[in-house]
Chains A and B, each alone.
Chain A
């Protein structure tokens, strides 16, 4: 869907966000909170390390058998009565959902939290068809009411204060008194949405883990809106990326433990909801139909390369963004992608193409905080370096497989020429000495504006003499004495 709107200017957006003190304060406070909560959940470093090893093994094992497991998942789901749909692109996924809504005779869908539904821009698509999507997760509800997008994958409204929300509810919800009391605000949200759960005929949710062995969809949440979305309407549609599958039911407990402790620092979420079939004969509630939509949208591109495949190990806990010095300073909106932060930088190029995301792999200090906390040990800095390399390798480069859509988006012939010249100078002593002489003697000719360097810094000032010359002079006067 990236081509439906103009190219997002990451440089301008991040620079703007970094200069916004309110944004800086809100995001910093939220990330400090989440980092402390996570740290408190892992007092035993050895346990954490072994659990991360296990998480990595489970995810890598599942990915190594992905086509097989997807077919097994489908077969198990179908045997359980769940109907399975496959979508190659966001447009196909949106069409499937809209078609199911028409089949259920419903113009409205109530949604539990689903980042994949954000990825395919489902709400936007349905509105264009004259249909309505209503977010029921409190954070997503707030963001939708404000006509914004989530700024964090776990806590969508983390950029807003209770004062912002007090104004929003008062202005946007009918007959709502102004209050900054969080309990009262939540009760306002509960009341507004309870009526909608009562009438909703179709509910849509994401999936945290799909179990191939049993055809089970696992969802974690605290609010109960996920359970209502999947239990109260006649039809439940679950949508997930193809990478979320695991082989066995016993893979679920370790993945859950890593997910909830890494994400929000909870030993477990209030609800873990495991769905294996629609309502069976004799049961008195639950949806009559359950549908599972499996979305590719660039994931098979990442899968095609053994290194980039590691991107797909992700369980979407958000710990990488919580610990990222860049995310903490610019917040989630600046990225302009569904998934912000470090994981967003390595997954978005596959979903949207490198031409639309070329600034993201470079927007990192490679400090490694993300890979240090990743519960499934994704080597994010290495993947960033790899994507940087792909972004400057032209599509027609000989002996280089074309692996990423939009490859070579940052390639510039002049830059390549510059580096080639640099390599030549540094490998030939005569050229090296000549250029050194020129750089020191002609230093006054350096312009004040040296491109990106001087946006936020003073221009570099070459010394009058090179280190080689200084050492040579020193030795001439002092001999070899230090």
Chain B
């Protein structure tokens, strides 16, 4: 008998006790207290992220590439990693071309990790991605990695910049998951990010930059 057969036969031999599935009313406790009007939704999202040392910049769909360029110059990144082909890329590339001051070179995540693992792990300072959605209740950003925006982009470089549109803000995770019917098809890896990497494992003192990004920068587009 295999381990599977042994385990399942023991479980099946146990007395059965039917328990009803929780009702929609039961689940409401994970939704109702976490619904907000539009002002509150934005302020809660920002407050929670700011409380865990996330840098948030209000921008518009016109100004964000300029803000990014200023940050790049100010933070002294040696380079900036872009998705392979994202709607963000055009605006960034144009701003970089038109810039009079020197900006860090742009790279693209355009080949499999095996081909450039060392460069990503040790020589990439910052990466920018979009996001799938954002959540006000917990101050979270939903990443839905894709062939164009692979999962290590938001994880390995010391700085992760993410563009969040105000219209992408949902109230809470359960609402978002139900509205978008996530159970119909989950991606390879879905990640909720709520700040830069941190730990309190040494005498309960919170230190940032444990293993993931030391800095999380949100470019928050208020006009879309």
How far, in Å, is B185 (CB) from chain A's closest CB? 8
Q: Check B183 against A284 for contact (C-beta < 8 Å).
A: no
Q: Is A172 an interface residue (CB 8 A)?
A: no
User: Provided the pairs A213-B183, A231-B155, A270-B195 are in contact, do residues A276 and B188 lie with their beta carbons within 8 angstroms?
Assistant: yes
- A47 to B137, alpha carbons, bound, how many Å? 14
Complex contacts, A252 vs chain B, CB 8 Å: 173, 177
The size of the chain A interface, using a CB distance under 8 A, is 98
With an 8 Å Cβ cutoff, the count of chain B residues facing the other chain is 81
Contact of A300 among B10, B112, B205 (CB under 8 A): B10
Q: Which of A86, A223, A247, A274 contacts B186 (CB 8 A)?
A: A274
Query: Which residues of the other chain, A, contact B203 by a CB distance below 8 angstroms?
Result: 160-162, 165, 182
Kindly state whether residue A254 has any CB partner on chain B within 8 Å.
yes
- Which of the candidate stretches B23-31, B60-68, B71-79, B94-102 sits at the interface with the other chain? B23-31
Query: What is the chain A residue whose CB lies nearest that of B205?
Result: A182
**A88 in contact with B191 given A256-B173, A274-B186 (CB within 8 Å):** no
CB distance from A60 to the nearest CB of B (A): 5
Q: Residues of B contacting A257 with CB < 8 Å?
A: 30
In contact, A285 and B113 (Cβ under 8 angstroms): yes
Give complex CA distance A296, B202 in Å. Answer: 33
- A67 interfacial contact with B, CB 8 Å: yes
Task: Encode contact with B along A37-49: 1 for CB under 8 Å, 0 otherwise.
Answer: 0000000100100
In the bound complex, how far is the Cα of B189 from the Cα of A214, in angstroms? 12
Contacts known (A223-B211, A276-B188); A155 close to B200, Cβ less than 8 A? yes
CA A224 – CA B201 in complex, angstroms? 13
Asked whether B3 is an interface residue with its Cβ less than 8 Å from the other chain, the reply is yes
Whether A249 touches B195, Cβ cut-off 8 Å, given contacts A53-B26, A61-B19, A162-B202, is no
In the complex, are the beta carbons of B186 and A249 less than 8 A apart? yes
Q: Which residue of A lies closest to B189 (CB)?
A: A275
Complex Cα gap A223–B29 (Å): 29
With a CB–CB cut-off of 8 A, which chain B residues contact A86?
A: 2-4, 7
B210 at the interface (CB under 8 A from A): yes
Which B9-27 residues have C-beta < 8 A from chain A? 10-22, 26-27
Q: Which of A44, A139, A267, A305: most chain B Cβ within 10 A?
A: A267
Interfacial residues, chain B to chain A (CB-CB below 8 A): 2-4, 6-8, 10-22, 26-27, 29-30, 33, 48, 52, 84, 109, 111-113, 117-118, 121-122, 137-140, 145-147, 150-152, 155-156, 172-174, 177-178, 182-183, 186-205, 207-213
8 A–B contacts, CB within 8 A, in A order: A138-B199, A185-B207, A197-B121, A224-B213, A253-B177, A268-B192, A276-B188, A276-B189
Q: What 9 pairs across the A-B complex have the smallest Cβ distances?
A: A224-B212, A139-B201, A223-B210, A268-B138, A86-B4, A224-B211, A272-B192, A224-B197, A64-B19
Known: A222-B210, A286-B150. 17 other contacts (CB 8 A): A47-B29, A47-B33, A61-B22, A165-B202, A182-B207, A185-B202, A186-B199, A214-B182, A224-B212, A225-B212, A232-B156, A252-B177, A275-B189, A276-B187, A278-B188, A296-B3, A304-B14
